[in-house]
Amino acid sequence: MSKKDEGDLKFEEAMAQLEEVVRKLETGDVALEDSLAAFERGVKLVRVLHARLDAVQEKIEELTRTDKGDIATKPFESE
């Protein structure tokens, strides 16, 4: 599997790669150097995911802002 630059990954791709890193680390059958590299990759992916979620939250707040500038919240209603 080719590793795209973290910033170029879609949210779902980054999440899948993070899950792969976690599975790899959980096995414990990885050399120390490889474990460190996997951990570093996982941290980068977590940062990407966190940034994407923050951006989505900011966009939602922007879309739900009232005319007075307050953020209007209401319960999510699923179909």
Which carries the bigger pLDDT value, residue 62 or residue 14?
14
| Domain boundaries, position 50 | 31-64
pLDDT of residue 76: 63
Residue 44 falls within a domain, yes or no? yes
Task: Report how far apart, in Å, the C-alpha atoms of 60 and of each of 8, 41, 63, 74 are.
Answer: 22, 29, 5, 12
pLDDT tens across 38-69, in order? 999 999 999 999 999 999 888 888 777 777 87
Summary mean pLDDT of the chain:
86
Task: Return the pLDDT at 1.
Answer: 40
Helix (H, G, I), strand (E, B) or coil at 40: helix
- DSSP-assigned letter for residue 67: T
Q: How many domains does the chain have?
A: 1
Domain assignment present for residue 53? The answer is yes
Establish if 73 belongs to a structural domain.
no
**Domain presence at residue 56:** yes
Question: 22 versus 78: which is more confidently predicted?
Answer: 22
Residue 49 lies in a domain: yes
